[in-house]
Amino acid sequence: MRNCSLLYLFLFICTGLLAQKPGAKKYSFHSINSIGVTNGSNGAAAVLQTVNGFRKGPLFAGIGMGLDYYQYRSVPLFADVRYEFGQKKNKLFAYADAGVNFSWVAGTYDDEVGIWWGTPGDFSNGMYADAGIGLNTSFKNGNAFVLSLGYSRKTMKEAFAYFDWRTGEPVTDVNTYRFNRIMIKLGFSF
């Protein structure tokens, strides 16, 4: 609940920022769809994202959703804010994303042993954040290629219960995962 409240506050602030610039162009809808690679201490993995929102002048605010395969599969749902620098065909931009990371874990595979362990513990949702810089290469029709480099973090918890063989008592352990990684994305904006 707290994550949703922060997301709504973030969107409210971003909407206020878009309304600050008088005389700017009207709002225009944009969709940014990208594929990417994340790399951190747990290896590399693929990422798919779509962000849909409105642009007014150099500011963009929208809602994004993705599929993140880093270590444990998850679905981040986040608010996205971007600011473009310059008026040329190739524009630099800075972006920030914040939201909820929904876990979508079906099982655990141990690469060393080559065994599918089946159902994991109970995973709970965590937070998702991503911030970085990028380059928009625009076409005459307003579409653009988007290349970005950022730092990303996703969290989740896994709770699992078992019986202690020494005492015969049920025991519950909780693993907290914090994945920090570099993210490179290539996409298309229309």
| pLDDT tens-digit map of 82-123 | 999 988 889 999 999 999 999 988 755 455 544 445 556 788
pLDDT at 134: 98
pLDDT at res. 144: 94
Q: Picking from 26-30, 114-118, 122-126, 161-165, which range would have the lowest pLDDT averaged per residue?
A: 114-118
* pTM for this entry: 0.77
Q: How confident is the model at residue 163 (pLDDT cuts 50, 70, 90)?
A: confident
Counting residues of the chain whose pLDDT is more than 70, the rounded percentage is: 79
The fraction of the chain above a pLDDT of 90, given in percent, is 59
Give the pLDDT of residue 107: 59
Position 170 pLDDT exceeds 60:
yes
> What's the confidence (pLDDT) of residue 3?
54
Map out the domains of the chain with their CATH numbers. Answer: 2-18+29-189 (2.40.160.20)
CA 77 to chain centre: 7
pLDDT at 179: 96
Q: What is the pLDDT of residues 54-86, one digit of tens each?
A: 999 999 999 999 999 999 899 999 999 999 998
Q: Can you say how many angstroms the Cα of residue 33 is from the centroid of all Cα atoms in its chain?
A: 12
* Cα dihedral across residues 84, 88, 89, 90: positive or negative: negative
> In the prediction, which pLDDT does 169 show?
85
The pLDDT of 142-150, averaged and rounded, is: 95
Rounded average pLDDT over 124-148: 94
Task: Judge whether residue 127 has pLDDT over 70.
Answer: yes
